[in-house]
Amino acid sequence: MTTIPTTPLPDGSQVPVFGLGTWMMGERRGDHDREVATLRAGLDLGITLIDTAEMYGQGGAERVVAEAIEGRRDETYLVSKVLPSNASHDRTIRACEESLRRLGTDRLDLYLLHWRGNYPLEETVRAFERLKADGKILRWGVSNFDVEDMEELEAISRDCAANQVLYNLSRRGIEHDLVAWSRERSMPIMAYSPIEQGRLARSSELADIARTHGATPAQIALAWVLDKPGIVAIPKTSRPERVEENLKALEIRLTDEDRDRLDRAFPPPRGKTGLEMI
pLDDT digits (tens, 9 = 90+) for 62-95: 999 999 999 999 999 999 999 999 999 999 999 9
CA 161 to chain centre: 13
Average pLDDT over residues 160-180: 98
Share of the chain above pLDDT 90, in %: 97
In the beta sheet, which residues pair with residue 198?
Answer: none
Q: Is the pLDDT of residue 45 over 90?
A: yes
Q: Which residues contact 47 (CB under 8 A, 6 or more apart)?
A: 2, 4, 16, 18, 19, 20, 243, 247
Indicate the residue type of 50.
I
**DSSP summary character for residue 231:** E
Write out the CATH class of domain 10-202+231-241.
alpha beta
CA 180 to chain centre: 18
pLDDT of residue 3: 86
Q: What strand order describes the sheet that includes 160-166? A: 19-21, 49-51, 77-82, 110-113, 140-143, 160-166, 189-192, 231-233
Average pLDDT over residues 250-256: 97
Distance CA 165, CA 143 (A): 6
**H or E stretch at 89:** helix 89-103
Q: Is 114 marked as a binding-site residue?
A: yes
Distance CA 243, CA 247 (A): 6
Identify the band that residue 1 occupies on the pLDDT scale cut at 50, 70 and 90: confident
CA-CA-CA-CA dihedral for 31, 33, 37, 39, to nearest 10: 60
Indicate the residue type of 17.
V
DSSP per position, 27-86: S-GGGHHHHHHHHHHHHHTT--EEE--STGGGGHHHHHHHHHHTT-GGG-EEEEEE-GGG
pTM assigned to the model = 0.96
pLDDT of residue 206: 97
What count of other Cβ atoms lies within 10 Å of the Cβ of residue 276?
A: 16
pLDDT (tens digit per residue) in 118-129: 999 999 999 999
Please report, for the chain, the start and end positions of each structural domain, with discontinuous segments joined by +: 10-202+231-241
- Told to judge if 56 belongs to the known catalytic residues of this protein, a careful annotator would answer yes
Active-site annotation holder among 56, 77, 167, 192: 56
Q: State how beta strands 14-16 and 49-51 pair.
A: unpaired
